[in-house]
Chain A
């Protein structure tokens, strides 16, 4: 007969609230109205959540990619065309927006740790990022207009179909990122900020992923069109 004594895990009653934090329970008011006192109890779940979400988005675009490859090979009707030049401008804007967001994220971290008391600086960078995101979406719209001017519509050719589908799906996901930025800005702008570090980090990861995804799509479009 095997004998095993299950030793109880050590529980330090003084630090008991922290043991629960992030492991099943969240504080009712995490910041107590003060961002600097904000202990980020949700970072583990948030980090897992965003990676899981990004994995799902990756699978979706992998499915679109495989559909594109199969469809291109299934018939001889694939028409090559030059990508609208505005896409390259949009790419630069999107990459730049990631940089401004990263600056903002680090400023928020410094603010939260008490190293920097100026909330306006990260807020300013966030507004710049938001504006760049909107410019990117407008730029994608301009790309569609350029294609339309060439007589390439959604149903004109499988290549144009995939162009519209891929760019529209990316833009839809990016709008989600813009929503995240608006949330971050609104929480940071409050008289008593309620922004969690994890919310800022999660929004940033998502936004950076939109960059990477766009670079991938641009490469795919460049190779296939």
Chain B
């Protein structure tokens, strides 16, 4: 029945050589896989770094085998020094936030599926798209290089607060060349993301196939589109901040370092700089970055749940508007990261109000999910389980956000593990659940083979229970006054909490090891998994109308024509209880918003 297609030809010919096909590819699908692969590599590094930190926190005198090989001075005898602990922490945050949470759900899945879901053969600027990945890869290599310079990576945290980050080697190990490499890496990363965002926005607005109105776009496309708009403005601000930081290091300027600063008994040759300026610039990027990490997950989770509920969300439009409201408000709340910076209490209230207000669209989104799930006969599979897990974690993390949104409470909790628990729940582990949901859902489309469902469900339960075991006790630790960023807890009042740290460490090791199940499933299924049918989930969006894996030009030279809203489930159609977007079949719907 799918015969009303529009003939088309691809704007760049299929590549013939290995390099053009697999390395410097212009194909959005290959670029998406490259981003996903990079994220996988980065998450493995980030996870190992977190293991080292957790082992040290639980057993501060434990010698970690092989660690001294990474840094003789940083970990003599395999025991990290306090400085090296902070260096590991910095790189854990940097790899996870930039090269995992931004890269996989947005650039990875988005590159692969956005053009297909809008009915396009590729993105409009494939050369920019290729550059986007390789620029990001260079950024990754530059960040990684910080491990191999004499003083190692910086110790100023993934937020790189000035003046510590701006002073140079005098401020401590890694604060010289390591910090410059870190800032250069982020500046390069920003260029890559800007090129990617440009493509995403242009594809969504201008490459949609016939009949694909904006409201017929799947929620995933909306999520990537909104994320692109956020990324465009946020990364454009981080880049100049990093340039100014590098100049403070290498050119002796004084953007971020104040006058008369004495560090390690040395008067610093800077004058008049503003330490708060860095925080303003960084968090103007940093808070939207939280949503850059989480909004694509919201899109993926909605897409996966709808397919498995066999009915659309309570309101397609309100969900879109709420994601857009999140993006808009994310620019107004950044000051809540600076409540303890000594800002005027009135300014705190100004930032506190929108911070509390941003919970409104978040709550609406969650209520739409839960309301739509209510009474639905949800198909339980690995993808839908991880989607449910996403909601659970997002809600759990969001609740602690209420506390931190209020300056009077945040001042008490800001420097404690409460904040660590909060942001790991919301932007970190919830977003990673979104990545898992997307992986289990789309694996068959990308590879043409199915993942093992049993292993997927085992992986889910280990990860879900593990995530709560790791991050929920953080909140307890924070309320008990356990400070963060300390490498060992030797104060008397912290001694009773050591048991909790040991529990968290064991949970982290077990949960991390459980990821090997996922890795095995991913690699084994890629080569030995059972052949996947074209549309194993009986889904409706355009990626399921084409073979698995998709051909080079996505639609075999004929662009689709779209006749239906994206989620027409729970109906009577010739194909079953759903109708695909490109089917000209006329159907009666029960869940139509029009």
* Partner-B contacts on A (CB < 8 A): 1-9, 11, 16-17, 19-20, 22-28, 42, 44-46, 48-49, 52-53, 55-57, 59-60, 62-64, 66-67, 70-71, 74-77, 154-155, 158, 161, 165, 169
Contacts and interface: CB of A to CB of B under 8 A. Distances in A.
Contact of B11 (A27, A57, A169): A27
A135 B7 CA distance: 48
B467 interface: no
Contacts of B564: 6
Interface stretch (B174-182, B202-210, B434-442): B202-210
A2 B240 contact: no
A52 B201 contact: yes
B247 interface: yes
Given A24-B119, A45-B206, A60-B237, A4 B589 contact: yes
A66 B241 CA distance: 11
Contacts of B115: 24
A59 B232 contact: yes
Interface string B164-207: 00000000000000000000000000000010011101110111
B10 A25 contact: yes
Contact of A67 (B118, B120, B208, B240): B240
Contacts of A75: 258-259, 271-274
B121 interface: yes
A155 B211 CA distance: 57
B559 A71 contact: no
Contacts of A48: 201-202, 205-206
Interface in B546-564: 559, 561, 563-564
A44 B202 CA distance: 8
Nearest to A73: B274
B125 A19 contact: no
Contacts of B341: none
Given A24-B121, A44-B206, A155 B6 contact: no
B254 A161 contact: yes
13 contacts: A24-B209, A45-B205, A46-B124, A52-B197, A52-B201, A53-B198, A56-B232, A75-B259, A77-B259, A77-B271, A158-B255, A165-B243, A169-B240
B26 to A, nearest CB: 12
B236 interface: yes
B232 A63 contact: no
A168 B564 CA distance: 51
A45 B207 contact: yes
A67 B240 CA distance: 9
B465 interface: no
Contacts of B590: 1-2
Given A25-B8, A71-B277, 9 more contacts: A19-B6, A20-B7, A24-B115, A27-B11, A44-B205, A48-B205, A66-B281, A71-B273, A77-B272
